[in-house]
Chain A
């Protein structure tokens, strides 16, 4: 198909021809086209269907404010629904399809809604579909859902890469029209760090769409010269294809750069888009203005568009929707469109101007004091019905109608910190208000300065003021400076199916109904009619709706109110906000020192926070994880096992007051204990609930190593810094995390000492006498490597923890395995670790769940009353010290073989099973190879007194009821003889 509506001139590269597909038909275009301009050039006006009535729609605009021409761009997993044809930069091989229609764009079954429109008025669904109640989910809602929505997602993972980055500047200039370019020139020449960002792929803004001259030259020539000078400046960064989406606190702006959307294929490793966080000292908003339509009967047909857009297509893109067009305007700018199109050889049927004193702008008819009262044409505009000043009607036979109701400054970003724009009578439009985001100033049309010269001038001045530049401004080019005055004309009296929000199908009639039913505040209007809630965020519709509501309420527009704008300025792919942090990169992965060795051993791994830990080490022939875990437990308890416990937090606490400091942090006494000793410590939150537990090892008078649980390492460090800096500022204490510096392994089991004696250098006595239970100290291993040894036990066995610098962790593990062969040493993972600590009755994460106190954990006596420690006072509140308070207990099934379920609740042996009779719950459960039975830990009301009681363990969720006996939490070696062996 040839480009039947391609005009002469324009900023397209005719030397290259690009092929593209729309709804599976082939067309041609040129570099510099958008999808919209190319379709118009190819004689295509029908591009989409509306949201509710499925009315045929074409382009309304030539920019990001487009409500109608939304398409599904690209195919397969790269399909992008709801993409504005007006902002899609053409590339060779582009494929797009229309959306929200079935079976085809021309024949859409749901167009029936248009016939039913009288029933489908604003908010009709609030008044019906209520009977019978069950019908809603089953019938009504699916129907509504299928009809609603716009495009479809591919349902496949997005295959593209995205990035995030940070940029810093003295001045961020948002928008590269006349004001923005002039501001950049001013700031750039002054040597400031400047970023100039514009959503368009071509810098220049409106200047690219106008035919007038700057310094006796086409505006585009001045643009080219200016851009050339700016690109040569090292201190200026030009960012085309970059939309500034939001103004956030303290001069931080979000900007989305479309680095790959204009390419047929992304080079490998390159992102499709980059989210820039721009840190600006000052910012200048030069985002221009958006033309506003006029509401009249059937004003939504393909071919009816904003007059300025018509002009953009003709001047910049050398395209027109039709060869014969008319203009409907209330201001002189509409005439400019007529003149430009006329000059390009497009026939102007007439300029319909509501003003009786409208000027003559060219060699075509001007119908003064006239209004468009209706239009015809099913899939595209065919006739325009004009009501003339004398009351008679005239039918214009045209393929396109350019509509201009004046221009609204693009104040969006000035509202992002909830500032409200103010009403300008002269412009009859909202302009930036008093309270702007700090550091932001506004220039050009965005600030209500509607002439080109004014824009250039305010851009230069804006930059100079923002940067407090002294001296002369760059000389401004000569440009048009016709004063602009806009007398409002919102809608043609008597119209009813006249569209305000074209995408959401909100008409003048809907606004009237909203008013009639009492939804009169702007927010109610928006929410009741959905006006301005579409993907264009009401850029072309809010004002019209507001104006009509004001008229109905008999108030002025400012009295009626305004709706402020929220980020983002235009919609942003969710993937862009995520950048590279997806899939495996969502969170960092932490690998313990023995990871690579464990991988060789065929370990099964599990995520523990960000850590990846060995869960168990299956042997050939083991088909079920329980076989591996049971073996690891049995072998450890029988001889010796090794487990990587590097992930436990380690905090180095030093200073002359270190001991006093820990005495405040832990609820149990810490003041006096000997160097070379380790002590168990329980930390409370200030509210008296257990925060974390661990050990503190005293390596020297002024040096402790504190361990935390893996999960709480970060939290505990913060807490200790808080106490150190905010509560005890004069204590001589220094803290630093050493978690990752040391590879630390638990060596547990009756033969653990024998094994370690082969590792620890002989000059160190680690016999029971030389290195008793809870001992600690610096040693050397394997012939002189510095190491730390702790005699502590989580498993309940005779056990040690040995630590060496992380880089030697792998080698030490291999050495332990080799030297341990004679003892049949076994590596064990987190499962066996957990089984053994449950057997021993040690509380862990499931018990320290943020709601349990020392009392609940059976450690009430540990909370020292003789000192000031965090949490001690509030732990005494009566609610936390009830006679029937939950106490940690052990449970065992009465019938061996029965399973204990963590998360099950405990009920009395008889009586009803319900919340009222809930006695407690199971926190941890496991099969104990040592007892050859399932066992569990849990919390039970008054549990301290109920040992031996038979109860029911119920889990209706998993349809389980088991008879259990309440026992001591210490299933294995309750006297702790093994620890001291």
Chain B
């Protein structure tokens, strides 16, 4: 596969390491009421869609960026690639 790196352009997916669903960015609040339940769902439950999937790839053999790749799990078509750091910020993560 070829991932259109937002900074580097087309790069072979073999340069990347795959982690999984991009929802791993949305780490729950450790002090919340239902923290235990929330962390269980966060760590273990997946939508696992047959279709569009937002997922995390690490450019190990490149610039060491984490990317959020939107890829169809049936056709492997990639429709969007973003820097995970930007996505994390838009999803309200900070320090």
Residues of A within 8 A of B (CB): 248-252, 279, 417, 438, 657, 660, 686-687, 714, 718, 721-722, 725-731, 868, 872-874, 876-877
- 17 additional contacts, CB 8 Å, given A248-B1, A726-B24? A250-B1, A279-B2, A417-B75, A686-B42, A714-B60, A718-B58, A718-B60, A725-B88, A726-B84, A726-B88, A727-B25, A728-B93, A730-B89, A868-B31, A873-B36, A873-B39, A874-B36
Given known pairs A249-B2, A718-B60, A873-B36, the reply for A729 and B24 (CB within 8 Å) is no
- Bound-state CA distance A727–B95 (Å) is 8
- Closest 7 pairs (CB-CB, A-B): A250-B2, A730-B94, A868-B30, A249-B1, A725-B85, A729-B88, A725-B66
Residues of B within 8 A of A248 (CB): 1
Q: What are 21 of the A-B contact pairs (CB < 8 Å)?
A: A248-B1, A249-B2, A249-B76, A250-B76, A279-B12, A657-B95, A686-B42, A718-B60, A721-B58, A721-B64, A725-B65, A725-B84, A726-B93, A727-B25, A729-B85, A729-B88, A729-B94, A730-B94, A731-B95, A872-B30, A874-B39
A718→B17 contact, CB < 8 A: yes
Q: In the complex, are the beta carbons of A727 and B58 less than 8 A apart? A: no
- Nearest A residue to B28 via CB reads A873
Complex alpha-carbon distance, A726 and B68, angstroms = 10
Closest to B35 in A: A873
Known contacts A718-B17, A725-B85: A874-B95 contact under CB 8 Å: no
B80 within 8 A of A: no
- Are B95 and A722 closer than 8 Å at their CB atoms? no
B77 touches A438 (CB 8 A): yes
Asked whether B56 is an interface residue with its Cβ less than 8 Å from the other chain, the reply is: yes
A876 contacts B36, C-beta separation under 8 Å: yes
Interface members, chain B 45-95 (any A CB < 8 Å): 56, 58, 60, 64-66, 75-78, 83-89, 93-95
Structural contact, B36 and A877, CB atoms closer than 8 A: yes
In the bound complex, what is the Cα–Cα distance between A714 and B17 (angstroms)?
11
Q: In the bound complex, what is the Cα–Cα distance between A823 and B20 (angstroms)?
A: 54
Q: A292 CB to closest chain B CB, in angstroms?
A: 31
Query: Would A687 and B66 count as touching, CB distance under 8 A?
Result: no
* A687, closest chain B residue (CB): B43
Do A728 and B95 contact each other (CB < 8 Å), given the known contacts A438-B77, A718-B58, A721-B58?
A: yes
Complex Cα distance A248/B27, Å?
A: 35
- Min CB gap B86→A, angstroms: 8
Is the CB–CB distance between A873 and B30 below 8 Å?
yes
Task: Give the distance to chain A from B4, nearest Cβ to Cβ, in Å.
Answer: 9
Contacting A660 at CB < 8 Å: which of B36, B83, B95? Answer: B95
**Residue of B64, B76, B86 contacting most chain A CB atoms (<10 Å):** B64
**Is the beta-carbon distance between B88 and A727 smaller than 8 angstroms?**
yes
By a CB distance below 8 angstroms, the chain A residues around B65 are: 725
What are the residues of chain A within 8 A of B95 when measuring CB–CB? 657, 660, 728, 730-731
Task: Note all chain B residues with C-beta closer than 8 A to A731.
Answer: 95
Q: Is the CB of B43 within 8 A of A686?
A: yes
Report the Cα distance A726→B95, complex, angstroms.
10
Contacts of A417 on B, CB cut-off 8 Å?
A: 75
Q: Is the interface of B mostly helix, strand, loop or mixed?
A: mixed
Q: How far is the CA of A449 from the CA of B48 in the complex (A)?
A: 43
Cα distance, A359 to B32, chains bound together (Å): 87
**Distance of B68 from chain A, by nearest CB (Å):** 9
Q: List the B side residues contacting A249 at CB < 8 Å.
A: 1-2, 76
Which B residues lie within 8 Å of A250 (CB)? Answer: 1-2, 76, 78
Q: How far is the CB of A912 from chain B (nearest CB, A)?
A: 36
* Bound Cα distance from A892 to B25, whole angstroms: 47
B→A interface (CB under 8 Å): 1-2, 10, 12, 17, 19, 24-25, 27-28, 30-31, 35-36, 39-40, 42-43, 56, 58, 60, 64-66, 75-78, 83-89, 93-95
With CB as the reference atom, state the residue of chain A lying closest to B89: A729
- Shortest C-beta distance, A884 to chain B (Å), equals 22
A727 (CB) vs chain B CBs: closest residue: B27
Contacts of B93 in A (CB 8 A): 726-730
- Distance in Å from the Cβ of A666 to the closest Cβ of chain B? 15
CA distance A671 to B65 in the complex (A): 27
Measured between C-beta atoms, what is the minimum distance from A939 to chain B in Å? Answer: 24
Cα A248 to Cα B66 in complex, Å, equals 24
Q: Closest residue of chain A to B59, judged by CB?
A: A721
Q: Which residue of B lies closest to A166 (CB)?
A: B12
Candidate in A417, A721, A726 with the most chain B CB atoms within 10 angstroms: A726
Q: Which chain B residue has the least Cβ–Cβ distance from A737?
A: B64
Instruction: Determine whether the beta carbon of A874 is less than 8 Å from that of B2.
Output: no
Question: Residue of B at shortest CB range from A874?
Answer: B39
What CA separation (Å) do A248 and B76 show in the bound complex? Answer: 10
Assuming the A-B contacts A249-B2, A729-B89, A730-B89, are A722 and B77 also in contact, with contact meaning beta carbons closer than 8 angstroms in the complex? Answer: no
B27 to chain A, nearest CB (A): 6
Inside 8 A of B89's CB, which chain A residues have their CB? 729-730
Closest A residue to B64 by CB, please name it: A721
Q: A657-B95, A722-B66 are in contact. Are A251 and B2 (CB under 8 A)?
A: yes
A232 CB, nearest partner CB in chain B, Å: 30
Contact A726 B85 (CB under 8 A): yes
Query: Does A726 lie within 8 Å of B25, measured CB to CB?
Result: yes
Please tell me if the beta carbons of B43 and A874 are within 8 angstroms of each other in the complex: yes
Point out the residues of chain B lying under 8 angstroms from A279, CB to CB: 2, 10, 12
Which residues of chain A are within 8 angstroms of B77 by Cβ–Cβ distance?
438
Q: Which residue of A lies closest to B22 (CB)?
A: A726
Which B residues lie within 8 Å of A438 (CB)?
77
> Does B56 contact A726, Cβ atoms closer than 8 Å?
yes
Closest chain B residue to A686 by CB distance? Answer: B43
Partner of B94, one of A728, A874, A876: A728
Query: Which interface residue of A417, A721, A873 has the most chain B CB atoms within 10 A?
Result: A873
**Shortest distance between the CB of A821 and any CB in chain B (Å):** 45
Q: Tell me the bound Cα distance from A252 to B31 in angstroms.
A: 48
**A91 to B4, alpha carbons, bound, how many Å?**
46
Q: Which residues of A contact B10 (CB under 8 A)?
A: 279
- Taking the nearest CB of chain A, how far is it from the CB of B67, in angstroms? 10
Give chain A residues whose Cβ lies under 8 Å from the Cβ of B83: 725
Contact B2 A252 (CB under 8 A): yes
Residues of A within 8 A of B40 (CB): 874
Q: Which residues of A contact B94 (CB under 8 A)?
A: 728-730
Chain A residue nearest to B31 in the complex (CB):
A868
Question: Hey, which chain A residues are within 8 Å of B39, CB to CB?
Answer: 686, 873-874
Of A686, A687, A727, which is in contact with the most chain B CB atoms at under 10 Å from its CB?
A727
B29 to chain A, nearest CB (A): 8
Looking across the interface, which residue of chain A has its beta carbon closest to that of B24?
A726
Give bound CA distance, A877 to B37, whole Å.
Answer: 10
CA distance A874 to B64 in the complex (A): 28
Q: How far is the CB of A36 from chain B (nearest CB, A)?
A: 39
Q: How far is the CA of A728 from the CA of B92 in the complex (A)?
A: 10
Roughly how many angstroms separate A248 CA and B85 CA in the complex, as a whole number?
30
A438 to B77, CA, bound (A): 9
Chain B's nearest CB lies how many Å from the CB of A396? 53
A73 to chain B, nearest CB (A): 33
| Given the contacts A250-B1, A727-B93, A722 and B43 also touching, CB distance less than 8 Å | no
Instruction: Give, as a whole number of angstroms, the nearest-CB distance from B48 to chain A.
Output: 18
Q: CB-nearest residue of chain A relative to B68? A: A726
